[in-house]
Amino acid sequence: IRDSSNIAVAGQNCSTETEEGAHTGEVLAAMLRDVGARYVIVGHSERRQLYFETDSMVNRKCQAALASDLNVILCVGESLEQREQGIAERVVSGQLSGGLSRLTASDLDRIIVAYEPVWAIGTGRTATPEQAQEMHAFIRRVFAERYSDQAANELRILYGGSVKPDNIAGLMSQTDIDGALVGGASLKADSFAKIVNYDRQ
């Protein structure tokens, strides 16, 4: 499938370690690459919440993945409490700063950002396409300010907050939403197929 289509394999996580050794239970980025993966997700909200991953750990994973020639899908997003406090942009900006620390301009070619509004994942609440667009546009502005307009324009930003067949078209109609990081809906083939083929229905 990898060689005959535009489908690529991604890991859902990788270790902060880069050297082979006694890291029982860890999956090195190099291992993912060796079994054919081209991408890896780092900083997913569940990893941050359930396994207490810090921005520093996320950054180490980014660096490990890039060193192993993997493309990185860096997840960022705010909680409901943070959104209600009016600090959503500050939180996301901080996660971008921490996750991308010490990366070079050339590394940015292999970085994809996924915005996950934590308050809209598995809660029954969903971000409107307009709310998602607002944060995606902010993320692109952050890249323009910190790197360059070119880096911002070339950045791919995915939306990952309860993406479903009935909201994918509205999300994808937004200017700064380049794709989706699909969670629960990807567990059912028919649901996932509708999302993938949303523009053909």
Give 17-41 pLDDT, tens digit per residue: 998 888 899 999 999 999 999 999 9
Fold of domain 10-200: TIM Barrel (3.20.20)
Measured CA to CA, the distance from residue 29 to residue 72 in angstroms comes to 10
Q: What is the band of 5 on the pLDDT scale with cuts at 50, 70, 90?
A: confident
pLDDT of residue 22: 83
Is residue 44 annotated as a catalytic residue, yes or no? yes
pLDDT of residue 161: 87
Measured CA to CA, the distance from residue 55 to residue 164 in angstroms comes to 29
Of 53, 78, 116, 136, which one is the catalytic site residue? 116
Q: Is 157 helix (H, G, I), strand (E, B) or coil?
A: strand
Between 185 and 121, residue with greater pLDDT: 185
Of 44, 53, 78, 136, which one is the catalytic site residue? 44
Measured CA to CA, the distance from residue 139 to residue 200 in angstroms comes to 29
The order of strands in the sheet holding 156-159 is 10-11, 39-42, 71-76, 111-115, 156-159, 179-180
Is residue 116 annotated as a catalytic residue, yes or no? yes
Measured CA to CA, the distance from residue 187 to residue 190 in angstroms comes to 9
Instruction: Give every CB contact of residue 80 below 8 A, 6+ residues apart in sequence.
Output: 118, 119, 123, 125
**Structure tokens given for 196:** 């993938």
Q: Where are the domains of the chain?
A: 10-200
pLDDT of residue 6: 86
Measured CA to CA, the distance from residue 177 to residue 133 in angstroms comes to 7
* Tens-place pLDDT, residues 131-186: 999 999 999 999 999 999 999 999 999 999 889 999 999 999 999 999 999 988 99
Predicted TM-score (pTM) of the model is: 0.94
CA geometry: angle at 158 spanning 172 and 68, to 5°? 145
* Tens-place pLDDT, residues 59-117: 999 999 999 999 999 999 999 999 999 999 999 999 999 999 999 989 999 999 999 99
